[in-house]
Amino acid sequence: MSPRLSSVLNLSRWVAAFVVVMGHTAHFVLARVGTPSDRPAWLTAVYVLRNCHLQAVWVFFVLSGFLVGGGVLARHREGRFQFLPYLVNRVSRIYPVLIAALVLGAACDLTGLRWFDRDGVYEDRQQVPDFEHAQVREQLSWSVAGWNLLNLQTVASPVLGSNLPLWSLANEWWYYLLFPALVLGTFPKTRLPVRGAALLFVAGAVLVFPRGMLVLGLVWGLGALASEWRHPVRMPVPLALIVFGGMVLANGSGVTARVLTRFLPPPLHLVTSALMVGFAFILVLLAVRSASTQVPLPGEAWHERLADFSYSLYLSHYPMLLLLLAAFQTRFGWGIQSAPTPRAFLLILALLPVLYAWAYIVSLFTERRTPQVRHWLQARLRGLEPEKTRTQAG
């Protein structure tokens, strides 16, 4: 991988995480007022930008497929793929942050419910977009925690407490397992017993998992296939960025949904939108890889530092955000679903560094410990050769 592409991947990881956190924060703080025809254009732009957090998750899916799925394809093609070392890498990457997010997220929710729920914040009396279906009190139980620990949230249970971003981690985890199973089950080099077991696992997943989870796996798989694309893409990087940015904004503004309504039934809108954004982002990655300039981006070290805790930020920010806003609402009587005034924007700007500091501290004890966890697991599984991995997506 070229230094240029590596730094672009790091930039994409931390920017996607930032868009998610900013979008969630703005959804909680800013009430939606008026319609596009009777409000200032700048406010409509703010509302469009805050709606782009879902597109950022799709970018994460592409990144993960490009890096992790691409590694599976490359090693299998070379006859070097081993499932157990691969699984050790995935477990050591995912579970330290997941366990911390479950414990700390539940602690935040219990604190908020006990001390700062005077205005019914945890019951969503304020009707926050994307939060209206959360039943925080009911979703705080040992059984829900157990299903989340198995990454079966949205399959066998809701997410634990208020931590809505956990939904995508379940997708991610099962894509990690389903994709190599699909590769082992369909490639001719695989031994027959292994192929049979892999296909049986895939068939079971198709029967058990929600259809929405499975079809979004196409976005992840698209990233994996793109990593194996070897033909140069003769598209200038700025043009690819314009296409990608336009696709994201079309989704965030609702234009894509209105167009798709004319041609496709509603169940296909989400996956079609995700594939469109994913394909546009892949154009950016392939354009960067094909470009003549392969030196790292300016600020390469900062991109790497911010990317290094993007996974911790993604998975730990939501319960802390809700706790901070519930406490603020209890103390000052405003903060959630406020009018878009200067003080509301100042509140958003004040919350962001707190959430980043929180996530960075969490990452010091989790994400940064990934190599140690990996080596510990390898030591418990004698005879495993440590798998050399490429940079992993957050």
* Backbone phi, psi, residue 126, to 5°: -85, -5
Burial 195-219 (b: 16+ CB within 10 A, else e): beebbebbeebeeebeeebbbbbeb
For residue 380 the two structure tokens come to 């418990």
36: left (phi over 0), alpha (psi -120 to 50) or beta: alpha
CB 348 within 8 A of CB 25: yes
State the residue for tokens 């679903």.
337
Tens of pLDDT along the chain (394 residues)?
889 999 999 999 999 999 999 999 999 999 988 888 788 999 999 999 999 999 999 999 999 999 999 999 999 888 888 899 999 999 999 999 999 999 999 999 999 999 998 878 887 666 777 676 678 999 999 999 999 999 999 999 999 999 999 999 999 999 999 999 999 998 877 788 889 999 999 999 999 999 999 999 999 999 999 999 989 998 999 999 999 999 999 999 999 999 999 999 988 999 999 999 999 999 999 999 998 888 999 999 999 999 999 999 999 999 999 999 999 999 999 999 999 999 999 999 999 999 999 999 999 999 999 999 999 999 888 655 544 444 444 4
Indicate yes or no: pTM above 0.95. Answer: no
Structure token digits, residue 241: 């960025």
Amino acid at 391: T
The two tokens of residue 6 are: 């590596």
Cα dihedral sign, 156-114-313-53: positive
Burial group, residue 385, by CB count within 10 angstroms (0-12, 13-18, 19+): exposed
Residue type at position 340 = P
Residue type at 12 in one-letter notation: S
**Helices 142-149 & 83-115 angle (0-180, nearest 10):** 150
Structure-token pair, residue 308: 């290094």
Q: Is 2 left (phi over 0), alpha (psi -120 to 50) or beta?
A: beta
d(CA 52, CA 50): 5
Domain ranges of the chain: 3-380
How many whole angstroms separate alpha carbon 310 and alpha carbon 308? Answer: 6
